[in-house]
Structures are given as structure tokens and as C-alpha cells.
């Protein structure tokens, strides 16, 4: 039977938390009438996390385990969970017990109100201020300002999605925190609810202040992609202008006779080479812009089909 709900949990060196986490998921969701599956994605843990997950899987048929051959990171783990999920609703949460599985029904209730993405908001966050909360506050404000998506806590893994929103959404690097903004650009309706946040009991945090630089670079990438997708020909046209200008300057200075104040009849070979090279580059960018317009147009048609399916599901 295809489950109605898929719970995706990325795991990396969390052997001490997994048994209690699964017990809490069972109490919060799996005892309800809603059919569900739990997908644990082991990001090539170095401890005994995989052995614990396989034992949990053997005792609970609703559990599925995916293991990476090497460590790829949380975003890749979430993407794999999205690919293997079967439920019409997908919930994500961390494996370190700081996210509370008891909040999952609250997120699902918000989805039932007509939203496509519901993000958890750790309003009372139980982490250190200087190394965790302060960088998070700055990053959240910056992400909201750049993307126009007013989500207070983009870094909270506890989120709920409609399957159609994330099934074909390409994410990589550290981009899992931008999922609300990325889905909103496709027409998804985004909401957030306050969720419980608990102090870490076992293990060590996988995130540090050095992660901020990667987040900012990914934010720049998301912003450029979002703006580029609207008018790619304009962007490539701007790229072509310097090359066209250089070719014109080379043409003028290369064939103008200052003594006679007129153009030379024969063009020097280096002038022909420079002008031809930079004009070719300018034409190359223009053609790339035209191809990008076609690609964006096809992608827009796909997004509209996805949005139509989402809207039909609400009717």
C-alpha cells in the first residue's frame, strides 16, 4: 500500500539518538490512522548509526533505509529522501532529537489549510547564541530580504511539503535551507508554524560558523538563478556588450590613420584577428541567450503543469 505520508530523516553519526527518535515518531505519527513510512538516509556515518537503522528497519516494516557510499551532506540526503518517498506529503526532520516529532501533526494541519510548504520556526531556540543563534538570525534576515520569502527560520529542518512541490526540485550544496524560497518561486503557498526546539543530548553538532560562507554563496546562486530565469537574453546581452565594445575600439584604433585623419584602406592582420575574435564572443553570448530563453520557456511550462496539479489537488 502506498503511504499517505513520508518522513525523511537525514542521519550522520547519531547512533545514540536513533532509537529514541523512532520511538517518538511512532508515538507522534505512526500510531494514527494516517498511513506513513519513515525514510532514514544514512550519510555514510562513521559510528554504528547504520547498524541501529537496520535493526529498526527489521522491527518495523514502515521503515526504509538508504545509505550513501560516502558523505555527501544534508542537502544530498534530503534530495535522496525526496526521490525515494512515496507519500503525497513529505515531512523532514533532523535525527539529533532537537526537532520534536510531536510537532509533525501541527505541520500537517497547516498543510490541510491549503498551503503547499510549511516551515518550522524554532522561536525559542536551545542553542548557543554566538556560534549558532546569531549567525542564524543574520542569515535568516538576509535570505528573507534577498528572496522575498518571509520565513523566520529557514535553517529548521522540520518542514512539511506536498509531494508535487519537491519531487522534481533540484537542490544541491547547502540549498535545503532555501526550499521555501525555491518552491515559492514556482507558485507554492508557503506558511510557517512555531515548533518546539530541544537542546542536544547526544553527539556533537555538525554545523559551525564556517558554514555561513557556503550559505551566503548558495544564496547568491539562488538569487542569480531566480533573476536570470526571468530574462536570460537580457543577461547574456549584457555579457556580450563588453566584447562588442572591445571589437569596435580595436577596429577604430587599428585602422585609423592619425597623420592623414582617415581610415586605412587595408586592415592589419592583428586588427582582423582581434575584431573577429571579440565579435564572435559577442555573437556567442547572444546565441546562448536565445537558447536560454527557449529553455526557460520550456521550464516555465513544466512549472505551470506542476502548479496546476497542486491546485487540482486542493479542489
Structure confidence by residue, pLDDT tens digits, 225-242: 555 656 677 777 877 888
Whether the Cβ atoms of residue 55 and residue 30 lie closer than 8 Å to each other: no
Question: What CATH architecture applies to the domain 5-226?
Answer: Alpha-Beta Complex (3.90)
DSSP helix/strand/coil, 7: strand
Residue 116 carries which DSSP code?
S
Q: How high is the pLDDT of residue 173?
A: 54
Question: How many C-beta neighbours within 10 Å does residue 58 have?
Answer: 10
Q: Closest Cα partner for 102 from 28, 42, 178?
A: 28
* CA–CA separation, 290 and 252 (whole Å): 29
Whether the Cβ atoms of residue 16 and residue 45 lie closer than 8 Å to each other: no
Whether the Cβ atoms of residue 241 and residue 283 lie closer than 8 Å to each other: no
Least confident of 59-63, 152-156, 174-178, 243-247: 174-178
Q: How high is the pLDDT of residue 187?
A: 72
Q: What is the pTM of this model?
A: 0.67
Residue 295: which residues within 8 A CB-CB, separation 6 or more? Answer: 232
65 vs 144: which has the higher pLDDT: 65
Q: How high is the pLDDT of residue 126?
A: 66
User: pLDDT for 152-190, tens place per residue?
Assistant: 777 789 999 998 888 767 665 566 667 777 777 667 888
Cα R_g (the chain), whole angstroms:
26
Amino acid at each position: 500500500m502506498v503511504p499517505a505520508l513520508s518522513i525523511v530523516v537525514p542521519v550522520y553519526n547519531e547512533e545514540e539518538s536513533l532509537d529514541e527518535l523512532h520511538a517518538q515518531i511512532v508515538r507522534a505519527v505512526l500510531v494514527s490512522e494516517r498511513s506513513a513510512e519513515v525514510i532514514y538516509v544514512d550519510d555514510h556515518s562513521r559510528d554504528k548509526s547504520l547498524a541501529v537503522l537496520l535493526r529498526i528497519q527489521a522491527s518495523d516494516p514502515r521503515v526504509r533505509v538508504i545509505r550513501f557510499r560516502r558523505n555527501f551532506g544534508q542537502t544530498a540526503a534530503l534530495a535522496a529522501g525526496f526521490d525515494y518517498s512515496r507519500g503525497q506529503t513529505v515531512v523532514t526532520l533532523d535525527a539529533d532529537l532537537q526537532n520534536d516529532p510531536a510537532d509533525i501533526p501541527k505541520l500537517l494541519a497547516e498543510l490541510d489549510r491549503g498551503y503547499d510548504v510549511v516551515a518550522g520556526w524554532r522561536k525559542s531556540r536551545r542553542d548557543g547564541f554566538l556560534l549558532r543563534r546569531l549567525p542564524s538570525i543574520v542569515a535568516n534576515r538576509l535570505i528573507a530580504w534577498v528572496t522575498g520569502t518571509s520565513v523566520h527560520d529557514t535553517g529548521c529542518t522540520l518542514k512539511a511539503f506536498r509531494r508535487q512541490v519537491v519531487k522534481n526540485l533540484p537542490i544541491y550544496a547547502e540549498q535545503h535551507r532555501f526550499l521555501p524560497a525555491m518552491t515559492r518561486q514556482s507558485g507554492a503557498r508557503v506558511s510557517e508554524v512555531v515548533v518546539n526546539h530541544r537542546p542536544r543530548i547526544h553527539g556533537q553538532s555538525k554545523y559551525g560558523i564556517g558554514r555561513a560562507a557556503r550559505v551566503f554563496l548558495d544564496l547568491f546562486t539562488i538569487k542569480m538563478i531566480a533573476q536570470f530565469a526571468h530574462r536570460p537574453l537580457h543577461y547574456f546581452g549584457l555579457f556580450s556588450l563588453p566584447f562588442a565594445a572591445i571589437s569596435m575600439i580595436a577596429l577604430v584604433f587599428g585602422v585609423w590613420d592619425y597623420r592623414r585623419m582617415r581610415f586605412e584602406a587595408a586592415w592589419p592582420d592583428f586588427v582582423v584577428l582581434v575584431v573577429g575574435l571579440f565579435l564572435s564572443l559577442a555573437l556567442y553570448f547572444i546565441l546562448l541567450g536565445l537558447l536560454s530563453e527557449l529553455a526557460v520557456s520550456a521550464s516555465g511550462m513544466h512549472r505551470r503543469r506542476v502548479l496546476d496539479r497542486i491546485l487540482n489537488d486542493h479542489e
